[in-house]
Amino acid sequence: MAETTAPTSARSRVHRVIVVGGGLAGLMTTLRLCEANVPVLLVSLVPVKRSHSVCAQGGINASVNAGEGDSPAIHMEETVYAGDFLANQPPVQGMAQAAPELVHLLDRMGVPFNRTPEGRLDFRRFGGSLFHRTAFAGATTGQQLLYALDEQVRRYETIDVTDSRGISVPGEKLVHKLEYWDFLSLVRDDHGVAIGIVAQNLRSMRIEAFRGDGVCLATGGPGAIFGRSTNSVICTGTAASAVFQQGAVYANGEFVQVHPTAIPGADKLRLISESARGEGGRIWVPRDARDARRPADIPEGERDYFLERLYPGYGNLVPRDIASRALFQVGFHEGRGIFNPSTGKNELEVYLDLTHLDPILLKKKLSGILEIYQKFEGEDPYTQPMRVFPAVHYSMGGLWVDYETQGDGSLVAQSPRNHAASIPGLYAVGEVDFQYHGANRLGANSLLSCLYGGQLAGPALSAYQSALARSAADLPASLFDREKARESERFDDIMERAQGEKSTENAHVLHAELGEAMLRDCTIERHDAALRQLLAKLDELGERAKRVRVVDRSGRANQTAQFVRHFQNMLVLARVIAAGALERNECRGAHYKPACDPEVTPGAVGRDDENWLRTTLAVASETGEPKFIRSFDYECAGRTLRVTDEVDTSLTQPRARRYQQAGEANTAGRGPSRVAQGSRSERTERGHGEEEG
């Protein structure tokens, strides 16, 4: 296969913007840039259709189903409520307001959303909501959305770049795509402004610098830091870590979502989507902790549907942080997980039961995830309850990004500040940023935040480029050669490190130790003593990483050398996450410290709005350690702006979260007191009432 190279032209300098990442966030950003006639260099670690967005299963939220009394305002409230009020509210409001039109746009692009018998878009419930708000395409929604946007971007790969006179530039297309290229670092000018990137071709291992009038990272989350997660194995967080080390601010790193339902795999954990519970799936354990019968043989009266018992208002659809803690409490603290006769122990597993539902409807709406379970577990989920357990799933934290509001609290649509990171010229969108989810992500808001973020970031980058006094294409080559040489030296060091030494380390062994330590000490429950022990372990791993020897000496497709670089960057982000967890002494969303829980520790503060309703802002110190700050200044489009850690709560007042009673707190009494589980078409087809329209 011929090596893909960057676009060049002897007769013109095309002023491109660089988008790193080919998932939904990167593709939407690219589309919006192309609509503004801005040429894009799209750089992807893997083929675009293999981006992690393809793994999303359950759906995308939009308050289209107004017949239930839903609205963008309620969607916004439920989002910030689920996030324990740590998300800045104006961007969340903008996302909720844009969601219905985004879903209709995707529908027009050809996304095969499920339909009701009347032909309307179908919607299911997801956790943390009382409304059927989640549009879905079976159980492969992410794949369908990704393919639809990929088709749109491919059109621009055939459209010529035009100059200021409207004349086509020979050989130059609006989108030039580089796949199998690994982002290494930003290229910055002498004033610290991002003017391009350095990347490595993963086939030839050639390192190159690319010019860009702005750089947007859409590189996903850092799930691989926790060993095996539901994320793809490519989700190492290496790009975010690299720019953090170059000076970018990282925000709310300690907030990592653990999804309550996953199954094991040799390479990663497989998600069993929340859509299974949205369609009526029920979680339970046997009342007798030593019950060794097959689950189908355990009578209804001998089952403990503990989520329904603890949270009767929401039942199996409480937010993920609450559900995961409940599963951990039952399985770990109470020892009532599924009994394993071969070991004589109770596992940290519970049953997710769909066997009471119509198999025809299950095949129509959930076949994708049920096939995954059947393939990897060898059991039929249509007739036997699935065995599931909590797994690391999503990072609410990420690179700090900005936004600009008008007097009424709405966003300025064309502002260059939208999704701008703290390094001038750098933007971030998707899971790599911290913007929309606060302390806990509401289910099915992930795809929405990627697309909405891309809709904002594209025009923002276009406005930023328009305000530049000089294009990156006009800057001296020495700036780019300097950063390229630095990254080449770093790679040579990886290749030559510990060669000839007798005592060396293996990066994959170190990564396994990292994942085990992070899972044990920095997921569902956090304890200060364990976090300090974890930070010491990270120090140890950092020292041992200096003795890692690359056994593969190949000059082509050297995945071992690439992994060593990613592992070094994972260690940096792991420290940001662990140190942030140690720093935050309260219980908020996915960050839970039993020592701060009044129900566990009398006199504890719990959720501390007075002192901790703020964003954790981390910067890299000269020693490489994360340093936490309360404010900073950054430049954007010629303006110097002051940023603090204060959270914008101007639209919805913070209050304690209570999910025991439906509608008690999150919708402020504006929604129905209770909405039955299952999608609209399911209720209609079963004869449980007419479709609410």
Looking at the chain, the whole-number percentage of residues with pLDDT higher than 70 is 93
Residue 621, amino acid: S
Q: What is the DSSP string of 645-685?
A: SB---SSS-------SSTTSSSSTT-S-S---SS-HHHHHH
pLDDT at residue 621 tops 90:
yes
pLDDT tens digit sequence for 27-61: 999 999 999 999 999 999 999 999 999 999 999 99
Tell me the average pLDDT across 126-142.
95
* Cβ neighbours of residue 333 closer than 8 Å, sequence gap 6 or more: none
Query: Can you say whether residue 521 is alpha, beta or left, with left for phi > 0 and alpha for psi between -120 and 50 degrees?
Result: alpha
CA gap 392, 261 in Å, rounded: 10
Q: Please write down the HEC assignment for all residues of 431-498.
A: CCECCCCCCCCCCCCHHHHHHHHHHHHHHHHHHHHHCCCCCHHHCCHHHHHHHHHHHHHHHHHHHHCC
Residue of 624 and 571 predicted with greater confidence: 571
Residue with tokens 């599931």: 388
Tell me the average pLDDT across 192-215.
98
pLDDT at residue 491 tops 60:
yes
Residue with tokens 């996450």: 577
Catalytic residues: 320
- Mind listing the domains of the chain with CATH numbers? 17-255+396-480 (3.50.50.60), 259-391 (3.90.700.10)
pLDDT at residue 490 tops 80:
yes
pLDDT at residue 319 tops 90:
yes
Model pLDDT, residue 691: 32
Antiparallel, parallel or unpaired: β 17-20 and 215-217: parallel
The answer to whether 484 touches 198, Cβ cutoff 8 Å, is yes
pLDDT tens digit sequence for 353-366: 999 999 999 999 99
Quick check: helix, strand or coil at residue 427?
Answer: strand
Model pLDDT, residue 663: 54
Angstrom distances, CA of residue 350 to CA of 142, 259, 313, 592: 26, 13, 21, 21
Residue 126 is given by DSSP the state: -
Return the half-sphere exposure (C-beta side, CA atoms, 13 A cut-off) of residue 3: 13
* Cβ neighbours of residue 489 closer than 8 Å, sequence gap 6 or more: none
Residue of 480, 377, 461 lying closest to 419 (CA atoms): 461
- pLDDT band, residue 688 (cuts 50/70/90): very low
Residue 231 is given by DSSP the state: S
Q: Which token pair is 11?
A: 């007769």
Model pLDDT, residue 624: 76
CA gap 637, 419 in Å, rounded: 13
Residue with tokens 């919805």: 652
Model pLDDT, residue 220: 98
Q: Give the DSSP H/E element, type plus range, for residue 25.
A: helix 24-35
Residue with tokens 């043989």: 297
Q: Please write down the HEC assignment for all residues of 558-584.
A: CHHHHHHHHHHHHHHHHHHHHHHHHHC
What does the chain come to in residues?
693
Model pLDDT, residue 658: 85
Query: What is the average pLDDT value for the chain, to the nearest integer?
Result: 92
Q: What is the DSSP string of 611-642?
A: HH-B--EEEE-TTS-EEEESEEEEEETTEEEE
pLDDT at residue 680 tops 80:
no
Model pLDDT, residue 234: 95
- pLDDT band, residue 103 (cuts 50/70/90): very high
Tell me the average pLDDT across 185-195.
97
Residue of 685, 581, 591 lying closest to 628 (CA atoms): 581
* Cβ neighbours of residue 291 closer than 8 Å, sequence gap 6 or more: 298, 302, 339
Model pLDDT, residue 399: 98
